[in-house]
Chains A and B, each alone.
Chain A
C-alpha cells in the first residue's frame, strides 16, 4: 500500500479539528486523539498549530502527547496492533502469539512496517484477562488468540480487511451493543441480586426525583455503600461532602478507566448495565445538584464508545438525560463521554480530573479532595462504574435491603473479576464476606498456590491465607482476583508488576519515579540468584520511603507486590539468596569481566583460569 495524501496534515485541517472543540484547551485530549486517529501521529508541526489554536505553548501540547501511550509524535501504522502484555497473557501463550505476529508482519514489537501499514506494540492489561491473550487492532478487541489464528488474521489484514470484520462479516451492520458482545465475551459466572440479576429500568431514578436531595444522600449513607474502585470510601459521605460548599456548579464523574491489571468487572457492567450506570450518575447528580456529568472511558475500551454514546442518546431521547429529567421541572443533567488514551494512573481520581482538563494525567495533591476542588476547581464527585450502578439500585430497593447483604462494614455485593489458572475465569457477583477459598472453589481452582487480590497494588497471598474474607478490613479489593497455580514463578510475577509500575509512574514524585526502578532492579537481582540478605533490607527501606512520600495511590501501593510476597512467601526469597560467607559480591562475575580482554589478548587468565596444558 502506498501512503495516501490524506495522511499529511495541513494546518487548515488541524485548525478545523480544534475549532470543533471550540479551541478549548480543556478538550486537548479530544483534539489530540482526533488528530492521532486521522493522521496516525501528532507531529511537532501539528503541535505548533494546536498550540496556537488553543492558546497554549507547544511544550504544553508536547507534554500531553508524550504522557499518553496512545498518542505518538512519530507516525503509527494504518493498522496498529497492541498486544496485551499482562502476566496472565504471558502465562496463556503470549510468546507464541507475539512470535506469530512478528513472523507474519516482518516487524518486531515496537516497530512500524516500512510501508506504514502495520505497527506492532505491547501494552499493559486491557481488561481481557478472562480471555487472554488479547489484542487491540486499532479500536477493535480480539480475544483468546492463538498463533494459528494470528496467521489467519494477518493474512486478512494484509488483504485490506477492516479490523472490525475480523470479528464477523456483518460486524458493522449490527447495533453497537451487539457488536461489543460479539467482540468480547462477558463470562458472567454468578449473577447476584444487585447488579447482574434482573434490574428494573430507571425505578431508582424515579424514586430519587421524588425526594429531596438530602433524602437521597441519607439513603445512600444509610445503606453503607462503599466505593468499588478499591479504596472503599463511603459513597454517601462523598456525596455529602460535595454539597458542603456554596458552589453553584458541580460535577458527577464516572471513572470507567479500569486499569488495575486483572480487573474487568466494569467492562461487563458497561456492556450489560450501561443504563443503570448512567441512572446512578443521574441520581448522584440529583443528590448534589450537579447538571454536568462525564464518563471517563479508558482508551483500551474504545470498542465500547459507540455503545455508550448510543445509550446516552437513547436516554436523552427518552427524557432521562438533558433538561427537565422525567418531566421534573428544574432537574437538568447531561453526560459527556471522555476517552482516555492509555494511562494506568488516570484511574486515580485526581489524575483523571487532570486528564479531563486537557493536561497530562498527573495526580493532584492529596488535598483538597475533588469533592471540594475537583474538575476546573469545582466540587466533583468521582465514582467507579460499579458504585454508580449500586447507587441506582439502592435508591430503588432501599438501604435496608442493601444492608441485608454482605457484612456490617462491607454491605451489599461486589463483582469479582477472576482470572488466571482456574477452570471458570469471569465475573462473579457475590456478597461481601465470603472467604477466598469459597471463591476459588466456585472458580474451579483447587490447585491454586498463590492469589493476587486487588491487582498488583493489592496483595499476593499463599494457601495458608485462603481462609481470609473478601471484605474491607481483611482482603479489600477493587475486584481483581488473579489465580496462580503451583507451576508459576512468583518472583516472575513480582518482577513483571514492578516493571509495570516503573512504566506507569507519571514521574511527578521522585521517590516513585526513581525508587520503583531500584525496586525492580533489586527483584531482578534476586531472581538472577545474585541477591543477598542486605538487598531485602534495602527493598524494605526503599519501599517505606516510596509509600510515605508519593502523593497518589500509585506510589503509595507500588511496592506491594514485593512487600506482600516477602511477607507471605519468605522461603521463596531465602531460597534465592546467596549465603555469601566470603563477603564477596554475588553480582560480580570475574569470568564475564575478563572475557573481552581474553579474546583480545588471545590467552587465558593466569589467575582465574585453570591451566589444562599440564
Chain B
C-alpha cells in the first residue's frame, strides 16, 4: 500500500455481539497511531451506513443468521480488497450457531422460534406469537460462517480477539508483511 494516501477500512458486525468491535478499541492509545495511517469508511464506529468508496480492508464480525447479514457481507466482498473475518462467530458461526444443533427436526427453524418465543418456561411473551414485523429480515435455515457465503482472505481468531492481535495483524497488513500467525498467538488458555 502506498504511503501517500491513507488506507481505507470498513467494519461491520453481523450475527455477533459487538465484542469484537470492543476488542478493536482495546488497542487503546495505539489507535491514535493507527488513525494516522488509515481512515474508516462504513463502520459502526463512525456510524456510516453506506460505502463511500472502495476500501482496502473490510473487517467482519459475526456470521450470517439472516438475509440482511448475507446482503451486507456480499456488499463488503464487492467493496473491499481484503476481507477479514474477525473472531469466532465470523469464522465458525460461534455462539449464534448453537441453533444449528436443532437438526433432527422436520422444521428446525420453526422449532427454534417456538422455543425462543412460545414454549420455553423462561419465556414471558404476552402476545404469544412469534415476532413477524415486515422490517425483520428473514432468518436463514441455519447460521453460516462468513467463509461459506463469500471468500474470506484472512481470519483473526479469538472470542474476542485481543487488541494486540488485531493491532499487529492490521499493521502487518498495512506494511504488506502479513505472513500468518505464530503458534503462540493462537493459544487462548
Contacts and interface: CB of A to CB of B under 8 A. Distances in A.
B65 to A, nearest CB: 10
B74 A600 contact: no
Contact of A597 (B70, B140, B144, B147): B140
A587 interface: yes
Contact of B70 (A583, A593, A596, A598): A593
B138 A601 contact: yes
Interface string A571-590: 00000000000111101101
B70 A590 contact: yes
B125 to A, nearest CB: 16
A588 B148 contact: yes
Contacts of A607: 67-68, 71, 137
B71 A584 contact: no
B22 interface: no
A593 B68 contact: no
B141 interface: yes
B78 A582 contact: yes
Contact of B130 (A595, A600, A603): A600
Interface residues of A, number: 22
B109 A597 contact: yes
A605 interface: yes
Contacts of B110: 596, 600
Contacts of A600: 109-110, 113, 130
A605 to B, nearest CB: 5
Contacts of B109: 596-597, 600
Contacts of A606: 134, 137
A592 interface: yes
B67 A585 contact: no
B29 to A, nearest CB: 35
Contacts of B139: 594, 597
B71 A585 contact: no
Tell me the interface secondary structure of chain B in the complex: mixed
Contact of A603 (B68, B134, B148): B134
A192 to B, nearest CB: 57
Contacts of B150: 583-585
A595 B141 contact: yes
B57 to A, nearest CB: 15
A605 B148 contact: no
B148 A585 contact: yes
Contact of B67 (A584, A587, A602, A608): A608
A167 to B, nearest CB: 46
Contact of B141 (A582, A593, A605): A593
Contacts of B142: 593
A583 B134 contact: no
Nearest to B109: A596
B144 A593 contact: yes
Contacts of B151: 583-585
Contacts of A608: 67, 71
A587 B148 contact: yes
Contacts of A597: 66-67, 109, 138-141
Contacts of B136: 601
Given A582-B78, A596-B110, A606-B137, 5 more contacts: A583-B77, A587-B148, A594-B139, A601-B136, A603-B134
7 contacts: A587-B148, A588-B144, A593-B67, A593-B141, A594-B141, A596-B108, A602-B132
Interface of A: 582-585, 587-588, 590, 592-598, 600-603, 605-608
Interface of B: 66-68, 70-71, 74, 77-78, 107-110, 113, 130, 132, 134, 136-142, 144, 147-151
